[in-house]
Structure 1
Amino acid sequence: MTKLISWNVNGLRACVNKGFLDYFHTSGADLFCLQETKLQEGQIDLSLGEDVYCYWNYAEKKGYSGTAIFSKIKPISVWYGLEENDEPEGRTITLEFEDYYLVNVYTPNARRDLSRLDYRLEWENRFLDYLQGLDRLKPVIVCGDLNVAHQEIDLKNAKSNHGNSGFTAEERACMTRLLDSGFIDSFRHLYPDRTDAFTWWSFMPKVRERNVGWRIDYFLVSARFADRIADAGIDADVMGSDHCPVTLKLA
């Protein structure tokens, strides 16, 4: 059994001060993926253990974006970004293992005023091409903050959020297209009708306590890898960020 965890920590240094290391060391994860690390090289010293391989993709802009993977399994290869290691916002890391690729991603946010929606959609096209290229070689596991609630079941107040960032028709269509291209939403594959299953909550008072959230963090798996999905979960009780960790267990 291989256990994978993905978590948008919304600033790793802040999250470390809120219990990150306790969760990391007790989680039993073989592969631990982070988004929004919000730091540069040398700005943090983590005690993760001698058996952990650490891979970082820092954004050029300080205190912004960034991804990381902490792995107890040594990969065959590692690369950063979608095209020739060119990703100034530090949004993707890919590890190659014997029987699959693992892609950790922090998808661009369209912003509240949708001023970055066009960029987001262009990025989605490149990301889909990238995943399809990998998938032609071996199965792919995609994890991270995809910044979209796919269906109405995936957020608390769907009716009032139609057209808002993260729930526009365009962003949802991109997710549909990705799934239709040969990928499975592991959580919905196992729990198609589960409601109130969210991974992000606003920092506004009482919102998380009342579970008024969105499910925007995912593990997607190549369809032909579906029989390897043993479980998929949401650790909603884990604090430290406005997102919570999501999990995947592979048989």
Structure 2
Amino acid sequence: MKIISWNVNGLRACIKKGFLDFFSSVDADIFCVQETKMQPGQVELNLPGYQQLWNSAERKGYSGTAVFTRKQPLSTAYDTCTGEGRSITLEFPEYYVVTFYSPNSQQGLARIDYRMQWEDTQREYLMRLDAQKPVILCGDLNVAHEEIDLKNPGPNRGNAGFSDQERAKFTQLLQSGFTDTFRALHLQQTGAYSWWSYRFHARDTNAGWRIDYFLTSNRLFPRIAKSEILSDVYGSDHCPILLEVKD
């Protein structure tokens, strides 16, 4: 099974930059999207063979998630606590697939208290799911966990996405029974990033951050065949990430 996750930073804009060509070529079983920035009905996607699941924020042009799946889920669930369109959960016979778009703590960590509440609530939610069957979590988690996960860790220490608080919450999630699949398979790989600022030609110089993840329940990790960052795919300030699970 192949799963793609991509923060498209506005799906309508990304469609104009080749989203549908990539979608067709990658041939994923499940395709998760974050930051759709749209309401239902603002775009009509013709994706034959895929069920479309949408979770839009109440605020127009903000946040939002979507999942396009060829595999028929047993059940689906949406935001557990926000109204910002930040999560979708699909239940399958063997596991859950969850996509998150975690809140940005914003400049000066203005939203760090909300972010910490989100982290605690979502970790507890994932642990409840994990008690029933294994979980695959993907999405833009808006944190670079370790110094290896961003180009310039020193100057960014304490900033949104690399604060001690956010990094500690990510560690706590891993300690709760989850594996960061990319890092587990690529222990020492440097320069592996999934987001680059639009400023200062950051992508041209690969001055990026790894903030998009596939996490799995520890007991599911032996079935992971591949976890990759598709950094050659453009269309957003993020690139897609890929997970392949052995049948």
Is contact 1:38-1:66 (8 Å) kept? Answer: yes
In the TM superposition, what whole-angstrom CA distance separates every residue of 1:152-203 from its partner, at most 9, and x where no partner exists?
Answer: 0000000111000000000000000000110000001100100000000000
Give the distance between the partners of 1:130 and 1:38, measured in 2 at CA.
25
Partner of 1:30: 29
8 Å Cα contact 1:100-1:141 kept in structure 2: yes
Per-residue deviation at 1:48? 1.1
Aligned counterpart, 1:3: 2
Mapped to 2, the partners of 1:232 and 1:225 lie a distance apart of 13
Q: Which residues of 2 match residues 188-207 of structure 1 at below 5 A?
A: 188-207=183-202
CA-to-aligned-CA distance 1:79-111 (integer Å, 9 cap, x gap): 1012xxx53100000000000000100000000
- The alpha-carbon deviation at position 205 of structure 1 amounts to 3.5
| Identity value in percent | 56
Matches within 5 A, 1:38-187: 38-49=37-48, 51-82=49-80, 86-187=81-182
Residue 52 of structure 2 aligns to a residue whose secondary structure is strand
Letter of the aligned partner of 1:6 in structure 2? S
The answer to whether the 8 A contact 1:184-1:221 is kept is yes
Distance 1:53 1:174 in 2: 33
| SS in structure 2 at match of 1:137 | coil
Counterpart Cα distance in 1 of 2:43 and 2:36: 10
Long gaps (5+) in structure 1: none
Work out whether 1:244 is the aligned partner of 2:243: no
Cα deviation, residue 235, structure 1: 0.5
Write the distance in 2 (CA, Å) between the matches of 1:87 and 1:55. Answer: 17
Instruction: Give the TM-score normalised by the residue count of structure 1.
Output: 0.97
| SS of the residue 2:9 aligns to | coil
AA aligned to 1:227 is: P
Q: Whole-Å Cα distance in 2 between the matches of residues 156 and 80 of structure 1?
A: 34
**Structure 2: gaps of 5 or more residues:** none
Q: Which moved more, 1:6-15 or 1:199-208?
A: 199-208
- Local SS of the residue matching 2:201: coil
State the Cα RMSD in Å. Answer: 0.6
Deviation at 1:206, TM superposition (A): 1.9
Cα separation, 1, equivalents of 2:61 and 2:17: 18
State whether residues 80 and 87 of structure 1, in contact with CA within 8 Å, keep that contact through their aligned partners in structure 2: no
**What displacement does 1:18 show?**
0.2
Aligned pair count reads 246
Runs of 4+ in 1 over 6 A off after TM superposition: none
TM-score of the superposed pair, with normalisation by structure 2: 0.99
Q: Equivalents in 1 of 2:150, 2:193: separation in Å? A: 7
The alignment partner of 1:130 has SS state of helix
Please give the alpha-carbon distance, in whole angstroms, between the structure 2 residues aligned to 1:61 and 1:206: 30
Cα drift, residue 19 of structure 1? 0.1
